[in-house]
Chain A
Amino acid sequence: MIKRSYWSLPYLIFMVVFVVLPLLLIVLYAFQDGAGHFTLSNITRFFTDSDSLSTFALSIEVAIENTLICILLGYPAAWILANRNLNRSAVTVMLFIMPMWINALMRTLATAELFNILGFTLGKGTLLFGMVYDYIPFMIYPIYNTLLKMDKSYAEAAEDLGATPWKVFWKVTVPLSVPGVMSGVLMVFMPTVSTFAISEFLTNNKIKLFGTIIQENINSSMWNYGAALAFIMLLIIGITTLFNDNKETQAEGGLI
């Protein structure tokens, strides 16, 4: 009759057309050759082409390094921001979040120009620095939120049982903040792997990342190979999502 669940139907159709179908097309194109025949050659090409493989490996490496540095630098910042004894200013917090709302390309370009002026040669160092600069707000914000919302009584209970502040931090605060960290990792790792414009700016196109080669292939009408590379990226996404799901349910104590 007036079942409101039917109202989800338009969106369902929309998503099938604009989300499911496009993803299927990636898979389709990935396993086809130019004439439309089924082939595994695109995939095998990826695994045998040393350029593609090294770019892929480099992207993963950069992503891991970026994520780790963001955690290393960002966690203390988030912790300080969330600690009422050390910081009472909402403005400071806001200043850390604000870069997220400014166009990423703009920020990256500004950074690249600054490097130029300061005389740093653009290469791997600047790339990593630029990445951290770009993504650290996305790591700080979720960790900050989790630490803020965390029940203080856990830390108090630990202290009551005789733990030093250092121990409290490592044995209680950090484990309980893992969901926030995982959230940050999700917002940093995959985007780093898939970025292309940022790496171009920061290295004057000298270093290519995985996103860049996908973009180059699509733009030069090598759709099948480009799709194959995109497909590989989808697999990585799938794996990291599953990994993240498991971690989250564990962190919540198995409450599904």
Chain B
Amino acid sequence: MAKDYIIDIQHLSKSFGGVKVLDDINFYIRKGEFITLLGPSGCGKTTLLRQIAGFIAPDEGKILLEGKDISGIPPYERPLNTVFQRYALFPHLDVYDNIAFGLKLQKIPAAEIEKRVKKMLKMVSMTDYEDRSVDSLSGGQQQRVAIARALVNYPKVLLLDEPLAALDLKMRKDMQLELKEIHRKMGITFIYVTHDQEEALTLSDTIVVMNEGKIQQIGTPIDIYNEPVNCFVADFIGESNILKGRMIRDRRVAFIKHEFDCVDEGFGEDVPVDVVVRPEDIYFTTDPAKCQFKAKVNSCIFKGVHYEMWVDTDSGYELMIQDYDPYEVGTEVMLYIDPDDIQVMHKERTRNVLEGRMVDDTHVEMMDAEFECLPHEGIAAGDKVRVEIRFEDIELLDHQEDGVVAGEVHFLLYKGDHYHLTIRTEGDYRLWVDTNDIWDKGDLVGVNIAPKAIKLTRCDD
């Protein structure tokens, strides 16, 4: 393990009740860095943090601290400390005793304890609060005591589990700055968990974006913001326009039915891709020579720092633009995008691919259900098959009973002229669907597929 790594996570996996909450997690943490695990609820970030802390044992994999495997060591023997989301201060002890708790357990002499506690109180700006009882403190003050209580033990790593989630906005912003300052002063490694992407971008040296138990991307805030590697990261971080595109050749991409110069290479020629353009990166111009495409302004909302506008392009796509100047609804405008601001991403998939088994010539079993299909040459009953279905060929119905399979809308992505949905079926299978209909996350749907849309190829066992 490299000398400046403090923690190395290797092939970590964990399931709860048959659901895989962490799926083969691998990454390392550098000494002294402020690293954030970022993702929506249920992505596994808190589970990962608790495994590092020692409250949960992994099913597979190892956690190395300074080269040593700590997976089997209980939390009270790990040189790590945690700051909990709801502070977890001991109500029967005052502020001083709360902070001194860990030190007393280590049997450190009282004089030394007093020195350290006072120093820590100063660090979190709570010097006169020694004798106060815990319930007389505000949320922000309790959080500071919790931080002091953890740091006073000089842990090798500080773990923070969404510590600012219970605070109001103003307090949260103040605490973010204080945390950054404490991190700078103490110089120890911070592992921070949050679902708030703005917070992550503000605080972190490195961000680990997670979703559904897997790492989506690791990088600095700037990298992740400017160069998301897939649709999930692009959509989760900041506002984006995510569009279907086609890589014509190196440094030339087509989307919204126009061609643009870009800076990405290595995708190949004439390859379908996803394109991300941030709303603040689409510029208005009055110079026809600079204009790359035209649009009509659909809405314009004042957001304090900027105006947020939606426009309909001349090719029928909707884009979000953020600008300091407003444009009136109905105005025809001329727009351009710099090559640097176009981020091209590999498409994670181009169609649905599933495993199935033939029931008979015209029926295939997949996703725990039976679908009607057209007979394929060379494929007979009992054969294992690979099923391909295009995104636009899946039909979603309002009532679950009306479809062959029941499901739930798990994730929505607006692609400018259509929606790209992720459907989670009853058997926990994933389907991706392109549709113009407007659905909401969590809607219950029935799934139908026209027989002629099901393409089969035989798998050899």
A and B touch in the complex (CB under 8 A): yes
Interface residues of A (CB under 8 A from B): 1-2
B238 within 8 A of A: no
B57 within 8 A of A: yes
CA distance A1 to B55 in the complex (A): 8
Counting from the closest, the 7 A-B pairs by CB-CB distance are A1-B57, A1-B74, A2-B74, A2-B75, A1-B55, A2-B55, A1-B54
Interface residues of B (CB under 8 A from A): 54-55, 57, 74-75
Could you say which residues of chain A place their CB within 8 Å of the CB of B74? 1-2
| CB closest chain-A residue, reference B76 | A2
Q: Is the interface of B mostly helix, strand, loop or mixed?
A: loop
Could you say which residues of chain B place their CB within 8 Å of the CB of A1? 54-55, 57, 74
Could you say which residues of chain A place their CB within 8 Å of the CB of B75? 2
CA distance A2 to B74 in the complex (A): 8
A-B contact count (CB 8 A): 7
Could you say which residues of chain A place their CB within 8 Å of the CB of B54? 1
- Chain A proximity of B71: nearest CB distance (Å): 11
| CB closest chain-B residue, reference A1 | B57
- Chain B proximity of A6: nearest CB distance (Å): 14
CA distance A1 to B75 in the complex (A): 10
- Chain B proximity of A233: nearest CB distance (Å): 42
CA distance A2 to B57 in the complex (A): 10
CA distance A2 to B76 in the complex (A): 11
7 contacts between A and B (CB under 8 A): A1-B54, A1-B55, A1-B57, A1-B74, A2-B55, A2-B74, A2-B75
| CB closest chain-A residue, reference B72 | A1
CA distance A2 to B73 in the complex (A): 11
CA distance A1 to B54 in the complex (A): 9
CA distance A25 to B57 in the complex (A): 42
- Chain A proximity of B91: nearest CB distance (Å): 19
- Chain B proximity of A5: nearest CB distance (Å): 14
CA distance A2 to B53 in the complex (A): 13
- Chain B proximity of A142: nearest CB distance (Å): 32
| CB closest chain-A residue, reference B75 | A2
CA distance A2 to B50 in the complex (A): 13
CA distance A235 to B57 in the complex (A): 46
- Chain B proximity of A138: nearest CB distance (Å): 36
CA distance A1 to B71 in the complex (A): 11
Could you say which residues of chain B place their CB within 8 Å of the CB of A2? 55, 74-75
CA distance A1 to B74 in the complex (A): 8
- Chain B proximity of A199: nearest CB distance (Å): 50
| CB closest chain-B residue, reference A2 | B74
CA distance A2 to B72 in the complex (A): 12
- Chain B proximity of A2: nearest CB distance (Å): 7
CA distance A1 to B70 in the complex (A): 14
CA distance A2 to B75 in the complex (A): 9
- Chain A proximity of B309: nearest CB distance (Å): 49
CA distance A238 to B57 in the complex (A): 43
- Chain B proximity of A236: nearest CB distance (Å): 40
- Chain A proximity of B80: nearest CB distance (Å): 15
- Chain A proximity of B446: nearest CB distance (Å): 30
| CB closest chain-A residue, reference B54 | A1
| CB closest chain-A residue, reference B56 | A1
- Chain A proximity of B198: nearest CB distance (Å): 35
CA distance A1 to B53 in the complex (A): 13
CA distance A1 to B56 in the complex (A): 8
- Chain A proximity of B63: nearest CB distance (Å): 14
- Chain A proximity of B123: nearest CB distance (Å): 30
CA distance A2 to B54 in the complex (A): 10
Could you say which residues of chain A place their CB within 8 Å of the CB of B57? 1
CA distance A6 to B362 in the complex (A): 54
CA distance A2 to B56 in the complex (A): 9
CA distance A13 to B57 in the complex (A): 27
CA distance A2 to B55 in the complex (A): 8
Could you say which residues of chain A place their CB within 8 Å of the CB of B55? 1-2
- Chain B proximity of A37: nearest CB distance (Å): 48
CA distance A30 to B84 in the complex (A): 56
- Chain A proximity of B58: nearest CB distance (Å): 11
- Chain B proximity of A178: nearest CB distance (Å): 38
CA distance A2 to B78 in the complex (A): 14
CA distance A251 to B151 in the complex (A): 52
